[in-house]
Structure formats: C-alpha cells, structure tokens
Amino acid sequence: MAIKGKERKSLGILAAALLGLGAWGGLEARAQTVTPTTAWTNPATITWNWTQQYKVGTGSIVNGSAEITGDVDSESYVDQGDEVTFTANADDHYHFSHWTGLPASVTNVNPATFNVSAAWTNAIANFAIDQVALTQTSEYSTVSWDTSNVNYGSTAAIDVGTLDTYVTNAPGQRVRRAAPTITGNEATYNP
C-alpha cells in the first residue's frame, strides 16, 4: 500500500517527533546519529539520559561588577553538581563586602566557588567604599579620639580636639594647645 499526500506528511511529522527531531520546550532538537561499533545484528534500545541544569546569573550591581566562570553554557545554564565561580570586581576605591543571592557558605567569599544544586539567578556582589584611617595624637593631653575612619573621597569636616586647652608641665610653666600639624593629606584646621 502506497502512502500519499497528507498521510505521508503526517507520518513524517510523527516519525520526526518519535525520533526527537521536532521542537520541545522552545529548543529545537538536533538530529543525531548512533553508529554501531560492530554491525547491527541484534535488537537495540536507545534510552536518552537527561541532566538537570540550573540557571546562574547576577542582578543589578553598583560600584563594581561580577563574572561567572565554569562550565556555563551560552544561555547561562550549568549542569547540576558542576562547579561555578562567581567573582566580584570592585571599582576604584571600593572593596568587596559580601554576596546576596548565593549559598550561605560562600556569602563572604570572593571569588565564591561552589557546586550548583539550585538556580542562582540574582546573585548580587555588594561593595563598600574604602576607608581612610585618621589618627589623632597629643603629647600633653588626652585626644577626643585616637583613630577614626572616613570614607575615601569624603570632604566632610570631622571634630578633633584634646581634653585640655592648657596643661601645666612644670611649676610656673604650661603649654597651650595650638593648631595641629596635619600630615599625609591636605586639610585645613578650623579652630
């Protein structure tokens, strides 16, 4: 019996679907071949195996960037159990603080390397501005603070001072607090 027209087309579509040559899940399957290592002499079963994959990615990041390396495909999917590395790169005068959206075991680690067991699609590398240490010293009186940190690039005024304005250092002698000497950075003392 000859198969013609619509019947032939229907059988062709059915055969393509049965052989995995059609579209499924938005991805078009590709024709593949199985070549025997010896001649086909026995009935054979071809069973397709599947690997769970998870999507990985980053969300919006400010004051730096992040990259993902490992066996990540062009659509950002990784096979379950495969190792990936999320690396945070800080902009100038910022430093890595922590991750959000990654496993708890790597929250404070950079680069963060782990085996994928779930989708991690909104990982955020958090950055903090670098700090500049300021130290205040005095030979004769207690200072209002010893060491303080300010944000890099800040132009905010800071309060400085000593506990005393005058200190008696010998009978009939005293020292008076004068303007401080500032080294390491340009600043103006405002009494």
**CA separation for the pair 129, 125 (Å, rounded):** 13
pLDDT tens-digit readout, 89-99: 999 999 999 99
**CA separation for the pair 104, 109 (Å, rounded):** 10
- pLDDT, residue 173, reads 95
**CA separation for the pair 87, 85 (Å, rounded):** 6
**CA separation for the pair 34, 167 (Å, rounded):** 95
Residue pointed to by tokens 């379950």: 80
8 Å CB contact between 93 and 109:
no
pLDDT tens-digit readout, 111-168: 999 999 999 989 999 999 999 999 999 999 999 999 999 999 999 999 999 999 999 9
Confidence (pTM): 0.69
Q: Which two tokens stand for residue 145?
A: 């603070």
Q: Which two tokens stand for residue 78?
A: 């990784």
Asked, as a colleague might, if the bond just before 191 is cis with ω within 30 of 0, I would say: no
**CA separation for the pair 55, 68 (Å, rounded):** 11
The lowest-confidence range among 25-29, 127-131, 156-160, 177-181 is 25-29
